[in-house]
Structure 1
Amino acid sequence: MQSFSFGDLLWIFFILMAILPAWRQYRLETVRMGLIRKLEKKRGSRLITIIHRQESLSFLGIPISRYINVEDSEAVLRAIRLTPDDMPIDLVLHTPGGLVLAAEQIARAIQKHPAKVTVFVPHYAMSGGTMIALAADEINMDENAVLGPVDPQLGELPAASILETVGLKGRERVDDRTLMLADIAGKALRQVNDFIYHLLAEKMPSEKARQLAEILSCGRWTHDYPLTCEQLDGMGLPVRCELPAEIYTLMDFYPQPPQRRPSVQYIPLPYSREKH
Structure 2
Amino acid sequence: MPSWHQLLEEIKVKGSTFDVVRRQYLAKLHRVTGRNVIIYYSGWLQKPGMRGVQVNDADKNGFMTVIHGLDRSKGLDLLLHTPGGETAATESLVDYLHSMFETDIRAIVPQLAMSAGTMIACACKDIIMGKQSSLGPIDPQFGNLPAHGIVEEFKRAADEISRDPSKVPLWQPIIARYHPTLIGECEKAIQWSNDMVREWLVRGMLADHADRDSKAAEIVSELSDHALTKSHARHLSAAKCKAMGLNVFMLEDDRRLQDAVLSVHHACVHTLSATPAFKMIENHKGVAFLQLAQQQLVLEGPVNTEQPAAPLPAPSPTPPATPPAPEEAAPHKNS
TM-score range, shorter chain: 0.7 to 0.9
Amino acid at match of 2:56: N
> TM-score scaled by structure 2?
0.62
- Contact 1:89-1:115 at 8 Å conserved across structures: no
Unaligned runs of 5+ in 2: 1-11, 162-171, 252-256, 275-335
Could you tell me which of 145, 149, 155 is aligned with 2:133?
A: 145
Residue identity (%): 26
- SS where residue 86 of structure 1 aligns? helix
> TM-score scaled by structure 1?
0.74
Amino acid at match of 1:124: L
- SS where residue 108 of structure 2 aligns? strand
1:69 matched to which residue of 2?
A: 56
1:252 matched to which residue of 2?
A: 266
- Contact 1:55-1:64 at 8 Å conserved across structures: no
1:97-139 deviation line (CA, Å, top 9, x unaligned): 1222222222233344236211111111101110111111111
1:199 matched to which residue of 2?
A: 200
Point out which structure has higher relative CO (alpha carbons under 8 A, 6+ apart).
Answer: 2
Give the alignment's Cα RMSD to 1 decimal.
Answer: 2.9
Amino acid at match of 1:240: F
CA distance 1:235–1:152, change in 2 (3 Å): same
Separation in 1, partners of 2:225, 2:25: 39
CA distance 1:96–1:56, change in 2 (3 Å): closer
1:124-163 deviation line (CA, Å, top 9, x unaligned): 1101110111111111111121100010000121101111
Q: Find the structure with the greater CA-based Rg.
A: 1
CA distance 1:102–1:82, change in 2 (3 Å): farther
CA distance 1:106–1:82, change in 2 (3 Å): farther
Q: What pairs with 1:177-256 in structure 2 (closer than 5 Å)? A: 177-202=178-203, 203=206, 204=209, 205-220=212-227, 221=229, 222-242=231-251, 244-254=258-268, 255=270, 256=272
Runs of 4+ in 1 over 4 A off after TM superposition: 22-25, 54-57, 62-65
- SS where residue 164 of structure 1 aligns? helix
Unaligned runs of 5+ in 1: 1-21, 259-276
- SS where residue 150 of structure 1 aligns? coil
> Per-residue deviation at 1:201?
1.1
Does structure 1 residue 49 correspond to structure 2 residue 39? yes
> Per-residue deviation at 1:75?
1.6
1:76-99 deviation line (CA, Å, top 9, x unaligned): 244345434421101111111122
